[in-house]
Amino acid sequence: MRETLWTLAALISHWRRRPGNLATLVLGLAIATALWSGVQALNAQARNSYDAAANAISGGGARTLVAARGGLFDQELFVRLRRAGVEVSPVLEGAIRIGEKNIRIIGVEPLSLPRRSPIADRRTRTDVIEDFFSGPGRGFAAPQTLRRLDLSEGAQPQTERGQLLPPLAALAEAPPGAIIVDIGVAQRLLDRPGKLSRLVILDEETFDEARLKPIAGDALRLVAPDDDSDLARLTDSFHLNLTAFGFLAFLVGLFIVHAAYGLAFEQRLPTLRTLRALGVGPPHLIAAMALEIGALTLIAGGAGVLGGHAIAQALLPDVAKSLESLYGAQISDRLALDARWWLSGLAMAGAGAALAAASGLTKALRLPALSFARPMAWRGAHHRYLGRQATLAALALVAAAGAYGFGQGLASGFAIIGLALLAAALILPVGLAGVLALGERFARRPLARWFFADGRQEISGLSLALMALLIALATNIGVGSMVEGFRQTFDRWLDARLVAEIYFEAATPADARDIEAWARTQPDIAAILPVWRAKTRIGGWPVDVVGMTPHETYTAHFPLIDAPTGVWTALHAQDAVLVSEQLARRLSLAIGETLDISTSGRDWSARIVGVFPDYGNPKGQLRIDHEKLKRYFDDASGVQYSLRVDPAATKRVIENIRQRFGGKIARIIDQAEVKTLSTDIFERTFAVTTALNTLTLIVSGVALFASLLTLSDMRRARIAPVWALGATRRKLAALEMARVMAFAAGAAAFAIPLGLFMTWCLVAIVNVAAFGWRLPFHMFPAQWLVVSCIALGAAFFAALIPVVRLARVSPTELLRVFSNER
Amino acid sequence: MSIDATPENLAAERTSAPMLRVDGLKKSYPTPQGRIPVLRGVDFTLAAGASLALTGESGSGKSTLLHLVGALDDADSGDIVLDGVALTRLSENARAAIRRERISVVFQQFNLIPSLTVGENLSFQARLAGRYDPAWQEELTARLGLATLAARYPEELSGGQQQRVAIGRALAVRPRLLLADEPTGNLDEATGDAVMALALDLVAATGCAFLMATHSERLAARLQRRVRLESGLLAAQ
């Protein structure tokens, strides 16, 4: 123990002399941990919210009965089941709008509320029942939901349709973004009289599945508690993407740690050898180094986890908005993270530090007590290093090809990207060394030859930082091109999909009929197109069914990816459907195949006559003839419409409808507003990706700066002889800057093809697997230029301090190189 | 005073249970042209408190022999026995313990720990071995003229000062055997002489055995005995 502690003291004394080096190491590890744990915090927060939402009523661990094809079912079924002695509690869920906010309404039946439900658990059942039944009733919402709505307890907000909610009370256990009310109130608010979403089984022990069939027929299906909710399944890809970018940022951060620790190891090598000569055995040396890494993990990991909390807090609003607008998922806007998250952050920091220090530890273990002077060993070592890099790069490429051959799922998509990035990063020093060797061969002047030769020596010291820069640049190009390509495709698609000038939703189907009748008499309105919706399930996935009327709005504009001629005639005249691209891909559907669709009556078989793009929609979608929708889905929404009007009359028509129908209109919006909303959703969806991307780039800049700063002392020993031979400090400093800029330019040149490959992987593999749609591949040369400029700028600023220090170094300092040469 | 290592003298030491015994020591190094033998079977002994200079031309194997005796390197064959312990048969960890507690080495390149101050360097090995003696440390610091330099770092010292620190560090642990590899090789003659005189004084004060490799006959003459390495074998002088 004594030996270990004294050895540790000697090792730590290095940092006392080089606090900048220590700061780099701590900063790198803290940043890596912060980015990783920040993303994990966002994921954990979302998943906790999904669980809270799923368990709020049932208390978790309970099976539920839901409509076999999704959507709602008749309350009559519940009554029949209860009369037959089946113990279930009904729930109705849906969305309302209060002001500009979407709120989930959960209707429960207080008399049969499960005892394990957090709601029943916190307040006594009697309280809840009394609250619900006394006076105007009661609505329960989490405190944060009340804050979000800017309401206090006792408030009675109005929905967008003008319906009054019961007075609200705070209940910490309520899921975020939801208000729990009596089921009768929910049916009124959601305009779903006599309808239910699910039945929670109250007592698993007495529940007999066999009794279901005679009472409910095939109308209900049993969902196990451990089945992922539709929300969890739909959001999986979103969270996986987030995790992938978090991991990438973590890896780039680890490059800093690896570079800083590697350089510290090199700088401490003489000390390590002296320690061995003084009688420190390998076990003591390894134990001391492990203790040092442990201490670093605690300090940097702790700071990183705190930073991760701050990052998550900063990104949470965008993530919450994205999840809400894309999936209708409500997540809590206040981070509540348990001990597991903090500990896993520290564990990740420890694993990262150990990984980064692994080669140093291995070398220390093998370090002989005696070492011989090997003055010109660098050349051999350099060749071995390049050979090893090239071999590993080749292996990574082979593995990437293997991953592509293995399958084109999300995991293999990310694996291909990861391996390609790794291969490119490994080959970068080899490529740069080749270019420098070529330069050295053609250089005439002695200083130019030294410039190239010395650059080759510098590569190994800077290679990790350059690899980090390459990865960050390639990711920027890859993700940037994908997002920009998506933006352009999305804009064109929106233009084609949003042809109608006005969109509205009536409060009830009866209101819709009134408005429809009036609209047909208006000269400004050229067409009224119902866009009714129903729900079904195909292949276990939730699917929306949307009706279409035969109209030029669709036949001339509606975007189709693949459709034979006569598609519109077939759609309206035959038993035919259009399927969304993601549904077609997920279930491997092709044009000409017949699809069995579960409807509110008997099943309906329809032929697939076309595939359409449906970006941003996590659910599958079927487009069918409006009349068939009415025929097969008697629970179709019946409230959504679009109107074709003279564009100049749009505002006037909207104003007229508002004035004439008031509360009968749930929502009315013009085309421009829909586009703005859609574009806003798009931007929010990629806001987190862009933020992580930018952070990754910043991290790589820090890596480069840290490496250059750490190397600057070692560089002095290489530069001093050239200075002694007559080169000025200013000239040498300029050459240093030129060399770093050249390296950055090399990294940027590598990053462009690598980024394009990444874009291809994202659009052709990852997006297809994650979201179900494939985007066209776009290239944006202007973006390459911007990224190259960023690379050069990052290199310039990273090199500025070390180079200025070099330019100002006193001759005495340079002479000391000779007196201290060992 | 110098006592030549005549065969008779060496034989006499063998019979009086020497502190250090080296028998048939061989060492070779691999090269692309095959293994090159450096030591071809070296035998000698050293009694406690005795001093021996090892001379020879550059590349004759002086440093190699010193490293083997210092338990820093492995021999191809032969025995090195220190206080009855066969160093050549010890594990890596046991050899590290021997280095820590019984053997000190003064290197030509000083090998100080650059991140520790002079004071910390001086006490480091003694603390490592659990033999730190503040009084002895103070005496060493004073006799080596390092009292005013204790807070400085090695890079802020001259070569002579650094070598004095290295000698102080080596003696602070009160080793049984002190090895010195060209200890004045990096110093000018006057500084080297001063450092050497100081080292011999302190060696006498600690009573340790002293084995020094040097190419300087002048320095070698200041030790009790001297031997010369030629073609990998010891030749008495």
Check whether residue A178 and residue A272 sit in a common domain. no
Residue A795 CA to residue A312 CA, distance in Å, equals 29
Lowest average pLDDT, out of A628-632, A769-773, B4-8, B227-231, goes to B4-8
Q: Which residues of A touch B127 (CB under 8 A)?
A: 2, 6
Give the pLDDT of residue B8. 45
Q: Looking at residues A583-599, what average pLDDT do you find?
A: 90
In Å, what is the CA distance from A466 to each residue of A28, A451, A460, A605? 15, 18, 10, 58
Residues present in chain A in total? 822
Of the candidates A297, A342, A241, the residue with the CA atom closest to the CA atom of residue A28: A297
Check whether residue A93 and residue A210 sit in a common domain. yes
- What one-character-per-residue DSSP string does A706-768 give? HHHHHHHHHHHHHHHHHHHTT--HHHHHHHHHHHHHHHHHHHHHHHHHHHHHHHHHIIIIIHH
- What one-character-per-residue DSSP string does B4-63 give? ---HHHHHHHHHT--SEEEEEEEEEEEETTEEEEEEEEEEEEE-TT-EEEEE--TTSSHH
Beta strands, E only, A389-507 = 502-506
Residue A288 CA to residue A663 CA, distance in Å, equals 74
Give the pLDDT of residue B54. 93
In Å, what is the CA distance from A86 to each residue of A203, A218, A441, A822? 9, 16, 88, 87
Contacts A–B by Cβ distance under 8 A: 82
Lowest average pLDDT, out of A359-368, B9-18, B26-35, goes to B9-18
Measured between CB atoms, does A816 come within 8 Å of chain B? yes
DSSP-derived letter for residue A619 is S
Residue A218 CA to residue A202 CA, distance in Å, equals 21
Yes or no: say if B177 and B20 are a contact pair by the CB < 8 Å rule.
yes
ipTM of the complex in this document: 0.72
Give the rounded percent of residues in chain B with a pLDDT score beyond 90.
Answer: 28
Q: Where are the domains of chain B?
A: 49-71+91-236
The maximal CA–CA distance of chain A, rounded, in angstroms, is: 102
Q: Which residues of B touch A273 (CB under 8 A)?
A: 111
A620-625 and A594-597: which strand pairing? unpaired
Residue A132 has pLDDT above 50, yes or no: yes
Q: Which residue has the higher pLDDT, A463 or A533?
A: A533
A178-182 and A101-108: which strand pairing? parallel
The Cβ-side half-sphere exposure at A236, using a 13 Å CA radius, reads 13
Give the pLDDT of residue A818. 59
What are the tens digits of pLDDT across the range A255-308? Answer: 777 777 777 787 788 888 888 888 888 888 889 988 998 998 899 999 999 998
Collect all residues with Cβ–Cβ distance below 8 Å to A58 and sequence separation of at least 6: A64, A114, A116, A117, A200, A225
Residue B173 has pLDDT above 70, yes or no: yes
Measured between CB atoms, does A370 come within 8 Å of chain B? yes
Residue A375 has pLDDT above 60, yes or no: no
Which of B92, B115, B130 minimises the CB distance to A16?
Answer: B115
Q: Which residue has the higher pLDDT, B181 or A727?
A: B181
Q: Is the dihedral of CA A798, A423, A457, A290 positive or negative?
A: positive
- What one-character-per-residue DSSP string does A58-75 give? H-SS--EEEETTSS-EEH
For testing contact with chain B, the best of A370, A716, A812, A813 (most B CBs within 10 A) = A370
Choosing from A344, A372, A400, the residue where a domain stops is A372
Q: Which domain does A301 fall in, by range?
A: 1-55+248-372
Tokens of residue A321, six digits: 């908005």
Q: Looking at residues B146-174, what average pLDDT do you find?
A: 88
Give the pLDDT of residue A381. 66
What is residue A578's three-state secondary structure?
Answer: strand
Check whether residue A83 and residue A31 sit in a common domain. no
Yes or no: say if A113 and A57 are a contact pair by the CB < 8 Å rule.
yes
Residue A546 has pLDDT above 90, yes or no: yes
A121 — pLDDT class (breaks 50, 70, 90):
low
Minimal C-alpha gap between B136 and chain A (Å): 19
B165 — pLDDT class (breaks 50, 70, 90):
very high
In Å, what is the CA distance from A279 to each residue of A146, A268, A554, B94? 68, 17, 84, 9
Q: Is residue A180 part of a domain?
A: yes
Residue A578 has pLDDT above 90, yes or no: yes
Check whether residue A205 and residue A91 sit in a common domain. yes
Tokens of residue A663, six digits: 């509360």
Choosing from A335, A355, A372, the residue where a domain stops is A372
Q: Is residue A257 part of a domain?
A: yes
Residue A126 CA to residue A110 CA, distance in Å, equals 9
Interchain CB distance below 8 Å, B116 and A283: no
Give the pLDDT of residue B14. 45
Check whether residue A208 and residue A258 sit in a common domain. no
Chain B residues with CB under 8 Å of a chain A CB are: 67, 70-73, 92-93, 95-101, 103, 105, 107, 109, 111-116, 120, 124-125, 127-130, 153, 155, 159
For testing contact with chain A, the best of B29, B115, B173, B186 (most A CBs within 10 A) = B115
Beta-carbon neighbour count of residue B17 at 10 Å? 12
Interchain CB distance below 8 Å, B114 and A17: yes
Give the pLDDT of residue A530. 93
Q: Which residues of A touch B163 (CB under 8 A)?
A: none
Q: Looking at residues A43-70, what average pLDDT do you find?
A: 73
Q: Looking at residues A477-491, what average pLDDT do you find?
A: 85
Exposed, middle or buried by CB within 10 Å (0-12, 13-18, 19+), for A409? middle
Residue A485 CA to residue A751 CA, distance in Å, equals 18
A61 — pLDDT class (breaks 50, 70, 90):
low
Exposed, middle or buried by CB within 10 Å (0-12, 13-18, 19+), for A691? middle
DSSP-derived letter for residue A594 is E
Give the pLDDT of residue A124. 53
Which of B114, B116, B129 minimises the CB distance to A279?
Answer: B129
Give the pLDDT of residue A621. 92
Residue A104 CA to residue A615 CA, distance in Å, equals 24
- Total domains in chain A come to 3
Q: Is residue A464 part of a domain?
A: no
Minimal C-alpha gap between A822 and chain B (Å): 7
Give the pLDDT of residue A49. 75
Give the pLDDT of residue B13. 45
Q: Looking at residues A237-241, what average pLDDT do you find?
A: 70
Strand partners, B52: B211, B225
Within its chain, how far is the Cα of B102 from the centroid? 11
What are the tens digits of pLDDT across the range A192-228? Answer: 888 888 888 887 777 777 777 788 777 788 777 655 5
Measured between CB atoms, does A13 come within 8 Å of chain B? yes
Minimal C-alpha gap between A17 and chain B (Å): 6
Q: What amino acid is encoded at A692 in this protein?
A: L
- For B126, the closest chain A residue by CA position comes to A278
Give the pLDDT of residue B11. 43
Residue A436 has pLDDT above 70, yes or no: yes
Yes or no: say if A95 and A104 are a contact pair by the CB < 8 Å rule.
yes
Choosing from A372, A403, A423, the residue where a domain stops is A372
Minimal C-alpha gap between A294 and chain B (Å): 21
Yes or no: say if A58 and A198 are a contact pair by the CB < 8 Å rule.
no
Q: Is B110 left (phi over 0), alpha (psi -120 to 50) or beta?
A: left
Q: Looking at residues A581-600, what average pLDDT do you find?
A: 89
Interchain CB distance below 8 Å, A370 and B115: no
Beta strands, E only, chain B = 20-31, 34-46, 51-55, 77-82, 85-86, 103-106, 177-181, 209-213, 225-230, 233-236
Check whether residue A37 and residue A88 sit in a common domain. no
3-class SS letters over A525-569: EEEEEECCEEEEEECCEEEEEEEECCCHHHHCCCCCCECCCCHHH
B16 — pLDDT class (breaks 50, 70, 90):
low
Check whether residue A640 and residue A568 sit in a common domain. yes
B213 — pLDDT class (breaks 50, 70, 90):
very high
Yes or no: say if A802 and A712 are a contact pair by the CB < 8 Å rule.
yes
Which of B93, B103, B109 minimises the CB distance to A281?
Answer: B93
For testing contact with chain B, the best of A11, A14, A274 (most B CBs within 10 A) = A274
Check whether residue A69 and residue A177 sit in a common domain. yes
Q: Is the dihedral of CA A353, A357, A362, A365 positive or negative?
A: negative
Residue A632 has pLDDT above 70, yes or no: yes
Residue A607 has pLDDT above 90, yes or no: yes
What are the tens digits of pLDDT across the range A136-149? Answer: 778 888 888 888 88
Residue B24 CA to residue B233 CA, distance in Å, equals 10
Yes or no: say if A360 and A296 are a contact pair by the CB < 8 Å rule.
no
The CATH architecture to which B49-71+91-236 belongs is 3-Layer(aba) Sandwich (3.40)
B6 — pLDDT class (breaks 50, 70, 90):
very low
Within its chain, how far is the Cα of A98 from the centroid? 28
Give the pLDDT of residue A55. 67
Give the rounded percent of residues in chain A with a pLDDT score beyond 90.
Answer: 15
Check whether residue A51 and residue A71 sit in a common domain. no
Measured between CB atoms, does A7 come within 8 Å of chain B? yes
Q: Which residue has the higher pLDDT, B108 or A308?
A: A308
Kindly report the average pLDDT of chain A as a whole number.
82
Yes or no: say if A223 and A209 are a contact pair by the CB < 8 Å rule.
no
Check whether residue A276 and residue A219 sit in a common domain. no
Residue A15 has pLDDT above 80, yes or no: yes
Which of B92, B115, B159 minimises the CB distance to A13?
Answer: B115
B4 — pLDDT class (breaks 50, 70, 90):
very low
Give the pLDDT of residue A548. 94
Of the candidates A322, A180, A353, A321, the residue with the CA atom closest to the CA atom of residue A257: A353
Q: Is the dihedral of CA A365, A368, A373, A377 positive or negative?
A: negative
A130 — pLDDT class (breaks 50, 70, 90):
low
Q: Which residue has the higher pLDDT, B96 or A517?
A: A517
Check whether residue A573 and residue A501 sit in a common domain. yes
